Amino acid sequence: MSVESAQPEPATPGTSKTDAIRRLRRVGHHGLRMATIATIIAIALIAMGFFRFTDIIADLKVTETPGDVDAIVALTGGYQRIDQALALLEDGVGERLLISGVNPSTSSAALRRATGTESATFDCCVDIGYEALDTIGNANETAVWIRQHHYTRILVVTNNYHIPRSLLELSQASPDVTFIAHPVTHADLKTETWLSDPVALRTLFVEYAKYSLARLRSWSGAKTASGLRADTGGDRPVSASLH
């Protein structure tokens, strides 16, 4: 008696095509699930980082007795920063003030009028820096000024949301100098009201993104532009001076 083994029927072109489509669909569905999970995790991490960033800002407090600083630097971005820095200088905090990142079209006379400060204060103790184009430029402009005057402790006056990135860039440019934050506050982040303010949300999130990129650049050691006006034109940067 002979036994004949069953032979598989040859796959038809239509069956092979259907199987291939099914495999592609399975791969596609798997890939979509993985991408969805990765997106959800990324959004969760960004949200956690953002709210941790706002908590850090909310906990910033003005130093009660900053009398032991050598000088003050105010990073431009609003006259309130300059007003507070000038008030501190007139109260005897530090021996000089650098206003960093001033637009070249703004004269010292215009700053005096806008802040209502006595001319004598500007004439004796205020330096105006016209070189900085951004926060990195502020740090490099301040570093030149610090080296000129041999300062070691600097009070930094800027908006509270700008403090983390400012201190990071300043410390990178002047690692041997101690920087003390003097935050200028526009909104109380201890309450929940800012969450319903689209302008505040946008401002904070943009600053969080910039701060995150600055930290990544610092960690990786990546090089960046100096942020100084003269460097963009190929000229040698000039130090901050009174105009």
Burial class of 116 by CB neighbour count within 10 A (0 to 12, 13 to 18, 19+):
exposed
Q: Are residues 83 and 35 in the same domain?
A: no
Q: Where are the strands (E) in the chain, listed by range?
A: 71-75, 97-100, 126-129, 153-159, 178-184
Question: Looking at residues 68-93, what average pLDDT do you find?
Answer: 89
Q: Are residues 179 and 133 in the same domain?
A: yes
Q: Are residues 43 and 86 in the same domain?
A: no
Q: Which of 15-19, 52-56, 87-91, 210-214 has the lowest mean pLDDT?
A: 15-19
Question: Looking at residues 26-45, what average pLDDT do you find?
Answer: 80
Q: What is the DSSP letter of 72?
A: E
Predicted local confidence at residue 233, as pLDDT: 67
Whether 108 maps to a domain, the answer reads yes
User: Given a cut of 60, is residue 224 above it in pLDDT?
Assistant: yes
Whether 237 maps to a domain, the answer reads no
> What pTM, to 2 d.p., does this model score?
0.79
Q: pLDDT tens, 87-139?
A: 999 988 999 999 999 999 888 888 888 888 878 888 889 999 999 999 999 99
The fraction of the chain above a pLDDT of 90, given in percent, is 39
Q: Are residues 205 and 115 in the same domain?
A: yes
Whether 46 maps to a domain, the answer reads yes
User: Given a cut of 60, is residue 9 above it in pLDDT?
Assistant: no
Q: In terms of residue numbers, what domain contains 194?
A: 66-232
Q: Are residues 98 and 190 in the same domain?
A: yes
Predicted local confidence at residue 201, as pLDDT: 86
Final residue in a domain of this structure, among 59, 75, 91 = 59
